C-alpha cells in the first residue's frame, strides 16, 4: 500500500542511505567502464533493483537497465534517468577510491548519477505507489555514443508509455544542497562533430616550394574557421567551434602530405546549427584551394539540444523549495555542454536540472578534468529531488 510521505521525511529517508550511496558511488568510481561496456555496473544495478521487488529488464540496448515500480491504481508514468558510462581519461587523484583502470575514470559524475537513482529507487519502492508508475532508466553510453537514442529504440519509453522524463547532472560549481534550472527552454548546446583532412603533397623540409605543405594549410584552415563564430554568427547566438585533435607528419625534416583533425561544434539556435557546416565548407574550400591543396569534410549532426518543458520546470522549482528549502533553486543561462538526455526531450515532455556537488573545502574541478571529484554529501539530495519530483507529478496529474 502506498504511503503518504512528507518532503522532509523523504529527504530524511534519502539521508539514511548516505553510507550506501557513497559506497555505490565509490565502487563505480573505482571500476569505470566506457560506453556500451558497462557490464559490471549494470549487473550491480540490476541485481540490487531486483532485491527491491521491481520489475527489471537487463541488457537493454546492450548494457542498459530498466526497472519499473507499478502503482496500485492507474495514473501517469514518470521516467527517471541516470547514465552509467565513464570517460577515456587517466585519473590524477590520491583518493582511496580512485580509478583502478588506467586510462579510464568517472570524470563527469555518472557514477554519482547511478548511485543517486539507485537511492531514489530504494526510497520509492519502500514507500510504494497509490497511483501511476515510475520507470528507472539506467542508460549506457552518454559520452558521445548515443546511449539515449539506443535506449529509446530499444523501447525504454514504452510498456508502459512514459508521460514525462526527468534527469539531473552533478555540477561542482554549484554548492551542495542547491540546484539550478535553465532560464530558457533550450537546456544545453547541441553537440555535433566533424573530421577534416587537408591534403597537400609531401616532400623534403628543405624544399617547401616543391610541395603543398598540408601543415601550413591546416594552420590557415584552423584560424579561418574560428572566424565563422566571431564574424558570421550573430553575437547574441552562442556558438563554439573547437578543434580537439590534430594528426600529421612523421619526422621533423619531412613535409607531411596530409593532416587530419577532429573537432566539435556547439550551438543553441537550431538555425545556426544548420548553417555552421555550410559555412565551414565554404571557408575550408576557399583556404585549401588558395594554396593548391584539397580536403575532405565529414560533418555529423549527433546530439540535439535539451528542450525543457516549462511546466515541469515549475514542478522542479516547487519540489526544490519543499525538499531543499526556499532559495536553493536558481535559474541560469543555458551552457553549450552537450547531453544526450536531449533525445528523450524530443519524444516526451522532459526536465533536466543540475545538482550542486561542490563546497569551498574541496577543489572544484570541472567535469572531464582528470582530478574531478564531488562532495558525496550531495548524493541524498539528488535521490530526494528525483523521488519527490516523480511523486509530485503523479499526484498533480492523477484524475
CA distance 135 to 156: 9
CA distance 18 to 99: 21
Cβ partners under 8 Å of residue 37, min gap 6: 63, 85
| Per-residue buried b or exposed e for 325-347, using 16+ beta carbons within 10 Å of the residue's own CB | eeebbeeeebbbebbbbbbbbee
The 3-state secondary structure of 238-252, one letter per residue: CEEEEEEEEEECCCC
Respond yes or no: is residue 85 known to be catalytic. yes
* Assigned C-alpha cell, 240: 563554439
Respond yes or no: is residue 373 known to be catalytic. no
Phi-psi region of 171 (alpha: psi -120 to 50; beta: other; left: phi over 0): beta
Name the catalytic one among 85, 163, 339, 340.
85
Query: Would you say 389 and 38 are in contact if contact means Cβ atoms under 8 Å apart?
Result: no
Judged on CB neighbours under 10 Å (0-12, 13-18, 19+), 58 is middle
Name the catalytic one among 13, 83, 111, 142.
142
CA distance 185 to 310: 7
* Assigned C-alpha cell, 163: 508521460
In the structure, how many helices (H) and strands (E) does the chain have? 10, 14
In a 3-state reduction of DSSP, which class is residue 23?
Answer: helix
Q: Which residues are catalytic?
A: 85, 142
Amino acid at each position: 500500500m502506498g504511503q503518504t510521505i512528507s518532503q522532509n521525511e523523504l529527504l530524511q529517508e534519502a539521508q539514511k542511505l548516505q553510507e550506501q550511496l557513497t559506497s555505490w558511488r565509490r565502487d563505480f568510481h573505482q571500476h569505470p567502464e566506457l560506453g556500451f561496456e558497462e557490464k559490471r555496473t549494470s549487473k550491480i544495478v540490476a541485481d540490487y533493483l531486483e532485491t527491491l521487488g521491481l520489475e527489471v529488464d537487463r541488457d537493454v540496448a546492450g548494457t542498459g537497465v530498466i526497472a519499473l515500480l507499478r502503482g496500485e491504481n492507474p495514473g501517469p508514468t514518470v521516467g527517471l534517468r541516470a547514465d552509467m558510462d565513464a570517460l577515456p581519461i587517466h585519473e590524477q587523484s590520491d583518493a582511496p577510491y580512485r580509478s583502478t583502470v588506467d586510462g579510464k575514470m568517472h570524470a563527469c559524475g555518472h557514477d554519482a548519477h547511478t548511485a543517486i537513482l539507485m537511492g531514489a529507487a530504494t526510497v520509492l519502492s519502500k514507500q510504494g505507489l497509490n497511483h501511476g508508475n515510475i520507470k528507472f532508466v539506467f542508460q549506457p553510453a552518454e559520452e558521445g555514443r548515443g546511449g539515449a537514442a539506443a535506449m529509446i529504440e530499444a523501447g525504454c519509453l514504452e510498456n508502459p508509455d512514459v508521460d514525462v522524463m526527468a534527469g539531473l547532472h552533478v555540477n561542482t560549481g554549484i554548492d551542495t544542497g542547491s540546484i539550478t534550472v535553465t532560464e530558457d527552454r533550450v537546456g544545453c548546446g547541441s553537440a555535433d562533430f566533424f573530421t577534416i583532412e587537408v591534403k597537400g603533397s609531401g616532400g623534403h623540409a628543405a624544399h617547401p616550394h616543391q610541395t603543398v605543405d598540408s601543415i601550413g594549410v591546416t594552420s590557415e584552415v584552423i584560424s579561418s574557421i574560428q572566424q565563422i563564430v566571431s564574424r558570421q554568427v550573430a553575437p547574441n547566438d552562442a556558438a563554439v567551434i573547437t578543434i580537439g585533435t590534430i594528426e600529421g607528419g612523421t619526422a621533423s625534416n619531412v613535409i607531411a602530405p596530409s593532416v587530419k583533425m577532429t573537432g566539435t561544434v556547439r550551438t543553441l539556435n537550431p538555425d545556426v546549427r544548420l548553417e555552421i557546416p555550410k559555412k565551414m565548407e565554404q571557408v575550408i574550400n576557399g583556404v585549401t584551394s588558395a594554396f593548391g591543396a584539397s580536403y575532405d569534410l565529414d560533418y555529423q549532426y549527433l546530439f540535439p539540444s535539451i528542450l525543457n518543458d516549462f511546466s515541469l520546470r515549475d514542478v522542479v522549482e516547487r519540489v526544490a523549495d519543499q525538499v531543499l528549502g526556499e532559495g536553493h533553486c536558481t535559474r541560469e543561462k543555458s551552457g553549450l555542454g552537450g547531453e544526450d538526455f536531449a533525445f528523450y526531450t524530443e519524444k516526451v515532455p522532459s526536465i533536466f536540472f543540475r545538482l550542486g556537488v561542490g563546497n569551498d573545502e574541496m577543489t572544484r574541478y570541472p567535469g572531464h578534468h582528470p582530478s574531478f571529484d564531488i562532495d558525496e554529501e550531495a548524493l541524498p539530495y539528488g535521490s530526494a529531488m528525483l523521488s519527490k519530483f516523480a511523486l509530485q507529478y503523479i499526484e498533480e496529474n492523477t484524475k
